Amino acid sequence: MSNSFDLADLERRMQGAIASLKHEFGGLRTGRASASLLEPIQVVAYGASTPLTQVATISVPESRMLSVQVWDRSMVGAVEKAIRDSNLGLSPTTEGQVLRIRIPELNEQRRKELVKVAHKYAEEAKVAVRHVRRDGIDLLKKALKDKVISEDDEKRHAGDVQKATDKAVAEIDQALVSKEKEIMQV
């Protein structure tokens, strides 16, 4: 068997897409303040797009409030703009180098918008998983063409890749269903 085809590596890459999705889901708020809500936000800092967590400290002083302590005074405006432009519907109040963000109650319309965003994240994760699947199938086709594996081995391994893909997609769907429930719960 060619060492270029590694099912465990493909499965690990698929799990990476799922882990990334779960991290993005953590940023979709459900009416409770959570530092993970702001983690996906990118700030234009020193001419480059930088994760918010690399220019500020996020804390949760109370259940419906986030506090963002910006380290560099010159970055406060950029951080505030990034939070306002993040599609999370948040309006920070600035006090010196600290931004306070009240987490509003979610109304029905906002919940539906968040569900749409969750679906978009899930679709992106499925696309990532399909890319990994395609890479694996391509490796198998090349190994078959180079006569490294037999047609039977290629078919068997392609079946394994498809099983791993189906498992990953089912996991994504399951994560989406539970996130949707969490968002719609009043």
The amino acid at 102: R
- Position 31 scores a pLDDT of 66
pLDDT digit string, tens, across residues 88-140: 778 899 999 999 998 877 788 888 888 988 999 999 999 999 999 999 999 99
How far, in Å, CA of 41 to CA of 56, rounded? 11
Average pLDDT in the 144-161 region?
94
Give me 119's structure tokens.
Answer: 């679906």
pLDDT band at residue 29 under the 50/70/90 scheme: low
Whole-prediction pTM value? 0.67
Average pLDDT in the 176-185 region?
90
Length of the chain in residues, anyone? Answer: 186
Flag whether pLDDT at 4 surpasses 80: no
Q: Give the chain's radius of gyration (CA, Å).
A: 21
pLDDT digit string, tens, across residues 55-100: 999 999 988 899 999 999 999 999 999 999 887 778 899 999 999 9
Q: Which fold would CATH assign to domain 7-24+107-184?
A: Topoisomerase I; Chain A, domain 4 (1.10.132)
pLDDT band at residue 186 under the 50/70/90 scheme: low
- Beta-carbon contacts of 104 under 8 Å, excluding residues fewer than 6 positions away, are 89
* Minimum mean pLDDT range among 10-19, 37-46, 72-81, 164-173: 37-46
Architecture of domain 32-102: 2-Layer Sandwich (3.30)
Q: What are the start and end residues of each CATH 1.10.132.20 domain in the chain?
A: 7-24+107-184
- Beta-carbon contacts of 47 under 8 Å, excluding residues fewer than 6 positions away, are none
Flag whether pLDDT at 3 surpasses 60: no
Q: What are the start and end residues of each CATH 3.30.1360.40 domain in the chain?
A: 32-102
93-95/98-102 β-pairing: antiparallel
- Alpha-carbon 174 to chain mean position: 15
- Position 172 scores a pLDDT of 97
